[in-house]
Amino acid sequence: MLSTLQPPRSLTLLPFRRFHGSKTIASLASSSPTLDASFVSPPQSQILTTRRSLLSGETTASEIAKSYLSRIRLTEPQLKCFLHVSENVLKEAQEIDQRISRGEEVGPLAGVVIGVKDNICTEGMPSTAASRILEHYRPPFDATAVKKIKEMGGIVVGKTNMDEFGMGSTTEASAFQVTANPWDLTRVPGGSSGGSAAAVAARQCMVSLGSDTGGSVRQPASFCGVVGLKPTYGRVSRFGLMAYASSLDVIGCFGSTVADAGVLLHAVSGYDRFDSTSSKQDVPEFDTQFLSMDSFESKPLKGVRVGLIRETLEEGVDSGVRSATQEAASHLEALGCVVTEVSLPSFSLGLPAYYVIASSESSSNLSRYDGVRYGNQVMADELNKLYECSRGQGFGGEVKMRILMGTYALSAGYYDAYYKRAQQVRTLIRKDFKAALDHNDILISPAAPSAAYKIGEKKDDPLAMYAGDIMTVNVNLAGLPAIVLPCGLVEGGPSGLPVGLQMIGAAFDEEKLLKVGHIFEQTLKGSGFVPPTLPNVA
Amino acid sequence: MATRALLAVVTASPPRMIQIKASTFSSSLKFQRHITTIGRCFSSDTNPSVLQPPDVSRLAETARISLTPSEIEECGAKIRQVIDWFGQLQQVDVSSVEPAIRAEMEGGNLREDAPETFENRESIRASIPRFDEVYLKVPKVLNKE
Q: What integer pLDDT is reported at residue B35 of this predicted model?
A: 32
Q: What integer pLDDT is reported at residue B14 of this predicted model?
A: 36
- What are chain A's domains? 46-296+453-523 (3.90.1300.10)
Which of B109, B137, B140 best probes binding to A when mutated, by most A CB atoms within 10 angstroms?
B109
Q: What integer pLDDT is reported at residue B81 of this predicted model?
A: 94
Say if residue B21's pLDDT is above 60: no
Written as one letter, the residue type at A66 is K
- A400–B75 CB contact, under 8 Å: yes
> What are the CA-CA distances from residue B113 to residues A82, A142, A440, B116 (Å)?
39, 22, 42, 9
Quick one: which of B83, B10, B18, B84 has its CA closest to B44?
A: B10
Q: Of all residues in chain B, what percent are helix, strand and coil, respectively (each to 5)?
A: 40, 5, 55
- pTM (2 d.p.): 0.87
Give contacts of A232 with chain B, Cβ < 8 Å: 103
Cα distance between residue A74 and residue A9, in whole Å:
38
Q: What integer pLDDT is reported at residue A23 of this predicted model?
A: 29
DSSP secondary structure string for all residues of A409-465 = HTSTTTTIIIIIHHHHHHHHHHHHHHHHHHH-SEEEEESSSSS--BTTTTTT-HHHH
Q: What integer pLDDT is reported at residue A24 of this predicted model?
A: 27
Cα distance between residue A253 and residue A526, in whole Å:
24
Cα distance between residue A179 and residue A160, in whole Å:
10
Which residue of B lies nearest to A347 if distances are taken between CA atoms? B21
Q: What integer pLDDT is reported at residue B46 of this predicted model?
A: 46
Residues of A labelled catalytic: 117, 192, 216
Per DSSP, A97 falls in state H
Complex ipTM value: 0.87
Q: What integer pLDDT is reported at residue A536 of this predicted model?
A: 52
A261 in Cβ contact with A197 (< 8 Å): no
CA dihedral A107, A275, A233, A134 (to 10 degrees): -90
* Interchain CB contact of B118 with A (< 8 Å): yes
Give contacts of B63 with chain A, Cβ < 8 Å: 363, 367, 391, 403-404, 407
Chain A, window 239-258: residues with a beta carbon less than 8 angstroms from a chain B beta carbon: 246-248
Q: What integer pLDDT is reported at residue B19 of this predicted model?
A: 36
- B45–A425 CB contact, under 8 Å: no
Quick one: which of A427, A441, A457, A422 has its CA closest to A506?
A: A441
Q: What integer pLDDT is reported at residue B50 of this predicted model?
A: 55
pLDDT tens readout for residues B88-140: 999 999 999 999 987 776 777 888 889 999 988 889 999 999 999 889 999 98
Cα distance between residue A113 and residue A56, in whole Å:
19
* Interchain CB contact of A414 with B (< 8 Å): yes
Quick one: which of A89, A103, A210 has its CA closest to A146?
A: A210
Q: What integer pLDDT is reported at residue A20 of this predicted model?
A: 32
A42 in Cβ contact with A527 (< 8 Å): no
Q: Of all residues in chain A, what percent are helix, strand and coil, respectively (each to 5)?
A: 40, 15, 45
Quick one: which of A235, A237, A241 has its CA closest to A507?
A: A235
**Phi–psi pair at A148, nearest 5 degrees:** -65, -45
Per DSSP, A133 falls in state G
Positive or negative, the CA dihedral A74, A77, A82, A83 is positive
Ranges assigned E (strand) in A87-154: 113-117
Q: What integer pLDDT is reported at residue B143 of this predicted model?
A: 62
Q: What integer pLDDT is reported at residue B41 of this predicted model?
A: 34
pLDDT tens readout for residues B40-63: 333 334 444 457 888 999 999 999
Cα distance between residue A475 and residue A350, in whole Å:
9
Q: What integer pLDDT is reported at residue A165 of this predicted model?
A: 98
> What are the CA-CA distances from residue A68 to residues A5, A50, A115, A205 (Å)?
44, 13, 11, 6
Which of B10, B16, B21 best probes binding to A when mutated, by most A CB atoms within 10 angstroms?
B21
pLDDT in tens, chain A (538 residues): 333 333 332 222 222 333 333 322 222 233 333 334 344 678 899 999 999 999 999 999 999 999 999 999 999 999 999 999 999 999 999 999 999 999 999 999 999 999 999 999 999 899 999 999 999 999 999 999 999 999 999 999 999 999 999 999 999 999 999 999 999 999 999 999 999 999 999 999 999 999 999 999 999 999 999 999 999 999 999 999 999 999 999 999 999 999 999 999 999 999 999 999 999 999 998 777 788 878 788 899 999 999 999 999 998 999 999 999 999 999 999 999 999 999 999 999 999 999 999 999 999 999 999 999 999 999 999 999 999 999 999 999 999 999 999 999 999 889 999 999 999 999 999 999 999 999 999 999 999 999 999 999 998 889 999 999 999 999 999 999 999 999 999 999 999 999 999 999 999 999 999 999 999 999 997 657 889 866 554 4
